[in-house]
Amino acid sequence: MRVLDRKIIRDIWRLWAQVLAVALVMACGAATIIMAVGAYRSLDETRDAFYDRYKFGSVFASAVRAPNHLKSRIEAISGVSGAELRIVKPVLLDVIGMKEPGSGIAVSIPDHRMTKVNQLYVRQGRLPEPGRGVEVAVVESFAKAHGFVPGDQFGTIINGKKLTLNIVGIVLSPEYIYSLGPGEMVPNPKIFGVFYISEEVLRGLFDMEGSFNDLSITTMRNTELESVIKDIDALLEPYGGVGAYDREDQASNAFLDAELDQLRAMAKIIPPIFLFVSAFLVNMILSRLIALEREHVGLFKALGYGNIAIGGHYAKLVIVIAIIGILIGSGAGLWLGMGLTRLYASFYSYPFLLFEQSYDLYVLSAGITLTAALSGAVKSIWSVVILPPAVAMRPQAPTRYKSLFVGRMNFTRIFSQLTTMAFRHIIRWPVRFLMTTFGTALSVALLVTSLFSYDSIEDMIDVIFFQTDRQDVTLTFSDDRGQDVLWLVNKLPGVVRVEPFRATPVKLKNGHRTMQMSLLALSHETDLSQILDIDSAPMEPPKNGLVISERVADKLHLNLGDLVDVVLTKKSNRIASLPISGIAQSYVGLTAYMSFEALNRVMRDGQRVSGARIKIDEAKLDEFYEAVKETPVIASTALQDISRDKFRETIEQNITTMTSVYIVLAVIITFGVIYNSARIQLSERARELASLRVFGFTRAEVSSVLMVELAIIVLLAQPLGWLLGYALSWSVVKGFETDLFRIPLVVNANTFAWASVVVLTAALVSALIVRRRIDHLDLISVLKTRE
């Protein structure tokens, strides 16, 4: 090994603590890239593989009741490679051991042949067959939640009839990787499941002889989906077609898209912070090292080493540090990435998980980390190159400090000499001071960004469950019904208040922009349901026109008072032109609201209701559940308590995992920045401090020279960090915003305080470590060595 390379190894050995501190920051950069991009790719690959192998549909549609003879015409549409005509119906579940009724979706599978679209992965058992009673295959998540295995049974209420289903298989479907029950915000497999039943059996149960109500289609590569959708809409229109849509609007797929978008957003926001800090730390350490080795640089030049050799020497040092960081980061990134993928996957139903561990990801993260490190080194290395050899041979002149006069005020009169020394040092290296402050502020910001989600989620829960949707139970009827059904609901035990609603799928159109969503109509005297305007004030459902959520308004470029075309999908795509009479706040899904009367007027089919929101006397809950199970018109129930708890549990589990990771990352940054800055100060001022000790100052007094500067840095970093944290949180909120989900930007004082507590503690620990060094300063050797 070349002698200069040995010097690198010994330098790294000697500076191990600082090297490790920087390498760890770099490791965080590399790890977060690998984690986020790795998890993104794994999930993307897994999804694609599942879709591909199990023939996930590319166009979907439903109708009220369409004749099976349409099949040949559907298959004849240009680009269609396979079509599956199915019966898909909501069912109520009555699982033993569960008081509350669950809900599910029953899906038909063809008899005596393979499904062509949305094939099932059979985890256990087999698929149901006709002629053997009511056999059912259930999705894995539901089976797991109840501990079901093939051979078990559970009760349902199908089309008003009580029925016991025999489980023969446990399956997974590309169509329901992510499945939400009605009214749920996160999957709750305990109270919601998907079941597959033989076509013949299901047709009988729902009186759907010779007809279907759901359609999935696979298409050939490069097919123009727009035109397929148009053709299908035309075919299904006479049969109550509800508008075909592609994968982008398919619920499960759309959720996965949103999740992947969030991972991508994370990959863009978090790693740059670490890369920036590591570049800065490299700059700080290297420029100090080179200042100390000025004469060595001169010596190398005198010995005839060229600029490339000398510059290369210092570059290698940085490269070695970066490699240490990259190795640690790759290991950590792999581990975190797998953990994150599992966390996400536990949330979804995949038959298998592909860990996408391609080399290019590691090469990419190593390349980015190295580039950041070297970009931090450029300035110092350049200073080596331009250092004239003769100058390098001369000892450096004493550092030039500036006097501390500000106007006519003399700081030295106000502060002690020691404090003045600290201030002079700050003024001498203002850029470094600012950068150190900024680096520390970034760790505060990182913590704020990871902790604020608790605040936002709590706010979201408050808004959704305690302000807008305050019902205890939401009932959905198996079809839109006449008002008389409410009388039935009112009679259910324990019911205190009933608020009917009507929901209908629509397309909103403004010029060439369109969006699909559900239009929700509420009655005027709502109390359980509230529409909140942008300032969170409740508003009445308008007598005329409709209220849309902020995101819908943004995406369709609509303002208050504008006219929008409402395409009534259930009314043969009849268009009603309605004014926008309000903009509402909404966190989940895309929504538009109308008043009950207004919608009924537009629909022209009388006073119809789709469901009701109910307040209930808790003491009578069990009786209520029993009665619901006996009531055929009720297709599904959603219980707010359960969905709120499940929501909180799921979200908080996710956030807690991520927050713990971020706290570790933020501590590493703080430590890297504060420790290095203290060490460098110590190295620059060792003689000064040793002299002070010799003059008779105490250890505490001498340390204070250094600690004052650190304290100023750490304290200034707090408000700056809060500000940066708020900005970063904002970008996270924006990055995470999708059509399906939006989190509000709420940062409580608590969060700022906690972020500061963590950073202050980490700073204190690093300061104490350096303080020990000051205490053990070897006075004689420090003063003897020449600088």
Partner 1 sequence: MPVSKNKPREIFKISHLSKIYRTGEVEVRAMNDVSLDMIEGEMTVLLGPSGSGKSTFLNIVGGLDQASSGTVFFKDMELTSFNERQLTRYRRDHVGFVFQFYNLIPSLTAWENVALVTEVSKNPMKAGDALAMVGLENRMTHFPAQLSGGEQQRVAIARAIAKRPEVLLCDEPTGALDSKTGIIVLDALTKVNEELGTTTAIITHNAGIQKIAHRVISFLDGKLSNCHENKSRIKPAEVVW
Using CB under 8 A as the criterion, which residues of the chain lie in contact with partner 1 when the complex forms?
A: 2-4, 6-7, 10-11, 14, 295-296, 298-307, 309, 388-390, 393, 395, 786
* Between 286 and 328, CB nearer to partner 1: 286
- What is the nearest approach in angstroms of partner 1 to the Cβ of residue 373? 21
Residues 252, 54 contacting (CB under 8 angstroms)? no
Considering beta carbons, is residue 393 or 682 the nearer one to partner 1?
A: 393
Whole-number minimum distance, CB 20 to partner 1, in Å? 18
Contacts of 614 (CB under 8 A, 6+ apart): 471, 472, 473, 474, 475, 489, 492, 495, 496, 497, 498, 499, 528
Question: Which C-beta is closer to partner 1: that of 383 or that of 607?
Answer: 383
Residue 300 Cβ, how far from partner 1 at the closest point, in Å? 8
| Nearer Cβ to partner 1 (391/757) | 391
Virtual torsion, Cα 642, 648, 651, 655, nearest 10 deg: -160
Nearest Cα to 464, choosing from 520, 523, 516, 536?
536
Interatomic CA distance for residues 520 and 61, integer angstroms: 21
Least gap, CB of 386 to partner 1 (angstroms): 10
Q: Where are the beta strands (DSSP E) in 54-126?
A: 59-67, 80-86, 88-94, 102-109, 121-125
Nearer to partner 1, 305 or 355 (CB): 305
* C-alpha radius of gyration, the chain, whole number: 33
Taken in order 426, 428, 434, 435, is the CA torsion positive or negative?
negative
In the bound state with partner 1, the residue whose beta carbon lies nearer, of 16 and 466, is 16
Helix H segments across 54-187? 71-75, 140-146
Task: Give the shortest CB-778-to-partner 1 separation in angstroms.
Answer: 12
Q: Which is nearer to partner 1, 304 or 606 (CB)?
A: 304
> End-to-end alpha-carbon separation of the chain, Å?
30
715: alpha, beta or left, given left = phi > 0 and alpha = psi -120 to 50? alpha
Q: Which is nearer to partner 1, 13 or 359 (CB)?
A: 13
Q: Which is nearer to partner 1, 7 or 773 (CB)?
A: 7
CA-wise closest residue to 31 among 655, 652, 662: 662
Q: How far is the CB of 689 from partner 1 (least distance, A)?
A: 21
User: Shortest gap between Cβ of 402 and partner 1 (angstroms)?
Assistant: 16
Residue type, 179: S
Q: How far is the CB of 687 from partner 1 (least distance, A)?
A: 16
Closest distance of CB 397 from partner 1, Å: 10
Report, in Å, the least distance between residue 457 CB and partner 1.
53
| Helix, strand, coil tally for the chain in percent (to 5) | 55, 20, 25
User: Based on CB atoms, which residue is closest to partner 1, 308 or 414?
Assistant: 308
Contact 553, 559 (CB under 8 A): yes
Tally of helices (H runs) and strands (E runs) in the chain: 22, 24
- H-state helical runs in 181-293: 199-205, 225-236, 251-292
Strands (E), 585-633: 591-595, 608-616
Q: How far is the CB of 296 from partner 1 (least distance, A)?
A: 6
Amino acid at 20: L
SS3 695: helix
Shortest Cβ 295–partner 1 spacing (Å) = 5
The angle, 0 to 180 degrees and rounded to 10, between the axes of the packed helices 16-53 and 251-292 is 160
Task: With beta carbons less than 8 A apart as the criterion, state whether 279 and 368 touch.
Answer: no
- By C-beta, is 291 or 434 nearer to partner 1? 291
Tokens of 390: 């003769």
* Per-residue tokens: 717: 């970093």
Characterise 53 by phi-psi region: left (phi > 0), alpha (psi -120 to 50), beta (else). Answer: alpha
The distance of closest approach from Cβ of residue 654 to partner 1 in the complex, given in angstroms and rounded to an integer, is 48
Rounded Cα distance between 168 and 196, Å, is 10
- Torsion sign (Cα): 26, 30, 33, 35: negative
To partner 1, the closest distance from the beta carbon of 686 in angstroms equals 15
Task: Decide if 157 contacts 97 (C-beta within 8 A).
Answer: no
Q: Which residues pair with 195 in a beta bridge?
A: 106, 138
As a whole number of angstroms, the distance between CA 80 and CA 83 comes to 7
**Minimum CB separation from partner 1 for residue 6, in Å?**
6
Contact between residue 556 and residue 628 where contact means Cβ atoms under 8 Å apart: no
- Number of Cβ within a 10 Å radius of residue 251: 14
Q: Which is nearer to partner 1, 364 or 387 (CB)?
A: 387
The rounded distance, in Å, linking the Cα atoms of 675 and 279 is: 16
Closer to partner 1 at the Cβ: 67 or 306? 306
Rounded to a whole number of angstroms, the minimum distance from the CB of residue 26 to partner 1 is 23
Evaluate whether 547 touches 531 at the Cβ level (below 8 Å).
yes
Nearer to partner 1, 93 or 318 (CB): 318
- Give the bridge partners for 568, in sequence order: 506, 574
